[in-house]
Amino acid sequence: MKKTALLTSALALATALPAAAQNLTVFDYSGFEDPAFHQSYIDTHGGAPEFVFFGDEDEAFQRLLAGFQSDVTHICAGSVPRWQASGIIEPWDAEQIEAFETLNADLVGQDVLSGSEDLYFLPTDYGSTAVAYNADELSEEDVTSLEIFNNPAYAGRLSIPDNVDDAYALAYLATGVTDWSDVSDAEFEAATEWLRGIHQNLRTYWTDPAEISQLIGSGEVLAAWVWNEVPVAMAEEGFNVGFSRNTTEGSSVWLCGYVNMVEGAGEEAQAYDYVNALLSDASAGPLLDSGFGSANDAALQALGAEALEASGLGEVTVPVLAQLPISNEQRERQAEAFERIKAGF
């Protein structure tokens, strides 16, 4: 009788707790825990998943290889080949992705949409990288070319991200390459030399959006290669900041999404509920307000051209380099060269 009562009490307590509680673990960048990004998941399960944060994807990768378990992990497209080769991720079932038919084809890839390849990487959010500038000190005419980073007049007052993908996207564009999927040795060397050439002009390699926002806002940095969320946040705080996506050589688009972990301990159904919440129509607005474009193109376009332009995701008339997955060999070659350049070699 006593045991039965205890079991009954335990069952009542369990059913009184939020259904989702901590049953799904999301390994992510800080900021994506915003409830507005996955409200339908919360509504369905009575609570948010457990979020664990990492600083960068190399750190995340090493922690997972060392035994940390997550159910879904947020990474960007450039990391996908290495993660797939490692065997720690498995394909998504496209039939369980509610917005699959309205995903942006340029972000997913035609092979995946046609069903001829497995969906190892599910795009959920994207943004642009271009030149932000202190509009109190520079005019739009001053930032019509990426060669601003080579201008000795601005030496010590320029910055680019401490991020190999963004750095090489900039360098390839500056040296005439708009598709990095199959660059030649000569194109790689030209981009590397360009990065080496601007090193002496840089105030810093920024690592955090708040850091570069402060540097631009104070006038310490006049122009920087940044993600579109930076000028959006700065404008909201009252800074006079410009964002030039139509530089002569072009601008870049980065792409991130979620991978399905092989060793996840949570319920697989909840993993699908989570990514479906992120890709829902209701999440597109909150994501855009934070500077992120939803990969659900129908939901994003429904917000209107004015909203897209205000968030730095409007249409451009210049070449765009999409930071889509590249081979492990190319990424490692770029990473090694970038580390040497930052060290002064």
Q: Are residue 135 and residue 67 in the same domain, yes or no?
A: no
> Which residues are bridge partners to 73 per DSSP?
27, 259
For residues 60-74, give the mean pLDDT. 96
Q: Taking the mean position of all CA atoms in its chain, how far away is CA 255? A: 5
- Helices 281-289 and 268-278, axial angle in degrees (round to 10): 60
Amino acid identity of 211? E
Residue 16 is predicted with a pLDDT of: 38
Per the structure, the count of domains in the chain is 2
Token pair of 181, please?
């999927």
List the domain range (segments joined by +) for residue 236: 127-253+315-342
Is 217 inside any structural domain? yes
Q: Are residue 188 and residue 249 in the same domain, yes or no?
A: yes
Q: What is the maximum span of the chain, computed from C-alpha positions, in angstroms?
A: 85
Beta strand segments in the chain, E: 25-28, 50-53, 72-76, 89-90, 122-134, 158-161, 202-206, 223-227, 241-244, 251-261, 293-294, 320-322
Prediction pTM value: 0.81
Q: Are residue 174 and residue 229 in the same domain, yes or no?
A: yes
DSSP, residue by residue, 113-132 = HTTSS-B--EEEEEEEEEEE
Residue 113 has pLDDT above 90, yes or no: no
CA distance readout (Å), 299 to 128, 280, 308: 18, 8, 12
Residue 103 has pLDDT above 60, yes or no: yes
Is 262 inside any structural domain? yes
For residues 76-92, give the mean pLDDT. 91
- Among the ranges 18-22, 127-131, 307-311, which has the highest mean pLDDT value? 127-131
Residue 327 is predicted with a pLDDT of: 85
Q: Which of 85, 2, 125, 141 is nearest to 331 (CA)?
A: 85
Residue 250 has pLDDT above 80, yes or no: yes
Q: Band of the pLDDT at 262, cuts 50, 70, 90? A: very high
Q: Are residue 228 and residue 156 in the same domain, yes or no?
A: yes
Contact status, residue 260 vs residue 118, Cβ threshold 8 Å: no
Question: Please, where are the H alpha helices in 56-176?
Answer: 57-65, 80-86, 105-108, 110-113, 164-174
Q: Are residue 62 and residue 183 in the same domain, yes or no?
A: no
Q: Which of 163, 194, 161 is nearest to 176 (CA)?
A: 194
Q: Are residue 332 and residue 278 in the same domain, yes or no?
A: no
Q: Are residue 244 and residue 159 in the same domain, yes or no?
A: yes
Q: Are residue 102 and residue 161 in the same domain, yes or no?
A: no
Q: What CATH number should be reported for the domain holding residue 249?
A: 3.40.190.10
Q: Are residue 109 and residue 30 in the same domain, yes or no?
A: yes
